[in-house]
Amino acid sequence: MALAYSNINSAKLLVIKGRIMSGLFYEEFKVDHVFKHSLTRTVTEYDNMSFSLMTMNPQPLHIDAHFSAQTEWGKPLVNSLFTLGLLIGMTVQDTTLGTTIGNLGMSEVKFPNPVFYGDTLRAETKVVGKRESRSRPDTGIVEFEHTCLNQDDQVVATCRRFALMRKKES
């Protein structure tokens, strides 16, 4: 793919099909830097039902209000994979939008507290490591530690993500 770059206020920005991408290049990530992402999202019943149905997950804890009312939760739980996807999605604009080649994997995925309809979620990201790619000299691998918190600052999800990132062109 041919990439175009633009210099705006002396910052080198990636432009794809006329659109400026806000993600950072490999060299711009600093280990131990913490991003407090501005995007937030209130989770709805529709989100949970749609995601559970699209992923063919018939778990009654997610889609059956009567069943869920009889559990220790007393109401439906939001599908944890929806929570994980939302966590990663809320981080993209500040970190990898347009500058990642792809995710290489995730590890240490945890859901220490439940998410329910009406919870408003936010994300934080810490850069925990980075290294140059051994096989692709124009790329590097960045390791992120993502944390998702609800409106009460309870951690509801965490994961480590490894992303293959573009380097700046010289």
Domain region containing 159: 26-166
- Give me the torsion for CA of 130, 134, 140, 143, rounded to 10°: -40
Whole-model pTM: value is 0.85
Q: What is the spatial distance between Cα 119 and Cα 130, in angstroms, rounded to a whole number?
A: 33
Q: Please say whether the beta carbons of 170 and 106 come within 8 A.
A: no
Q: What is the spatial distance between Cα 57 and Cα 47, in angstroms, rounded to a whole number?
A: 13
The CATH number covering residue 112 comes to: 3.10.129.10
Is there a domain that residue 82 lies in? yes
Give the model confidence (pLDDT) of 15-49 as tens digits. Answer: 555 555 678 999 999 999 999 999 999 999 999 99
Is there a domain that residue 4 lies in? no
Is there a domain that residue 149 lies in? yes
Structure tokens at 104: 């290489």
Is there a domain that residue 19 lies in? no
Domain count, the chain: 1
Is there a domain that residue 14 lies in? no
Helices (H), the chain: 45-54, 60-63, 65-69, 80-95
Is there a domain that residue 108 lies in? yes
Per-residue pLDDT of the chain (170 residues; tens, 9 = 90+): 445 444 444 444 555 555 556 789 999 999 999 999 999 999 999 999 999 999 999 999 999 999 999 999 999 999 999 999 999 999 999 999 889 999 999 999 999 999 999 999 999 999 999 999 999 999 999 999 999 999 999 999 999 999 999 998 74
Is there a domain that residue 105 lies in? yes
Is there a domain that residue 34 lies in? yes
